[in-house]
Structure 1
Amino acid sequence: MLKELNPLLHSQLRLSIMSLLLTVEEAEFVYLKEKTQATAGNLSVQLDKLSEAGYVSVEKSFVGKKPRTVCRITSAGREAMAEYVEALKGYFVGL
């Protein structure tokens, strides 16, 4: 029987965000926006969803007068991604 894929991670943009955050210690909002080619509004909404799930921490601050948003994947986010990848592997068994 196939494991159900985590619907929160199965979204293309959220999966892209999580994949990027797995490869870096932290990433600024601007970096994520550039790499995912998402609009600021859509990226913000998806980061909120990941943050509410406890998969990502979002830290907002100011550098001088400029806002700075830094995102990091949490241990729960790493675990969720590992489970997602394992579930996905199940779909390829027997091919």
Structure 2
Amino acid sequence: MGMIDQLNKDFESRVRLGIMSVLMVNDWVDFTEMKSLLNITDGNLASHSTALEKAQYIEVKKEFVGKKPKTSYRVTQKGREAFKAHLDSLEILLKSNS
């Protein structure tokens, strides 16, 4: 198995890398804040966050604040471990090619 096979396919997209990076250092982040931090469209954030939720890497909380729906995201323990392993593999890949 080559070095590149150690990288997690779930984190290949720059949007998913961005979502995970934000959630690794923040507790709950809401949809609007995440969208503006990553400078992406509603649809882009919705589809990538759904994929990460399906993989159980993030938790999605939907609630109403007043009459407005609010969606927030938080990394799960499984997500934290998977993302850290992905970053460790990237680091090894970088070191082995320098």
* TM-score interval, normalised by the smaller of the two chains: over 0.9
- Establish whether residue 93 from structure 1 lines up as the match of residue 81 from structure 2: no
After the TM superposition, which residues 15-94 of structure 1 pair with which residues of structure 2 at under 5 Å, given as runs? 15-94=17-96
Shift of 1:45: 0.4
Give the secondary-structure state (helix, strand or coil) at the position aligned to 1:38. Answer: coil
* TM-score using structure 1 length: 0.95
* Structure 2: gaps of 5 or more residues: none
- The structure 1 segments of at least 4 consecutive aligned residues displaced by more than 4 Å after TM superposition are none
Q: Distance in 1 between matches of 2:70 and 2:53?
A: 17
Q: Distance in 2 between matches of 1:2 and 1:48?
A: 28
Query: Counting helix residues as a fraction of each chain, which structure ranks higher?
Result: 2
Q: Distance in 2 between matches of 1:7 and 1:78?
A: 15
* Structure 1: gaps of 5 or more residues: none
Q: Distance in 2 between matches of 1:93 and 1:39?
A: 35
Q: Distance in 1 between matches of 2:29 and 2:77?
A: 16
The one-letter code of the counterpart of 2:47 is V
Q: What root-mean-square deviation, in Å, do the aligned CA atoms of Structure 1 and Structure 2 show?
A: 1.0
* TM-score using structure 2 length: 0.92
Give the secondary-structure state (helix, strand or coil) at the position aligned to 2:9. Answer: coil
Q: Percent identity?
A: 36
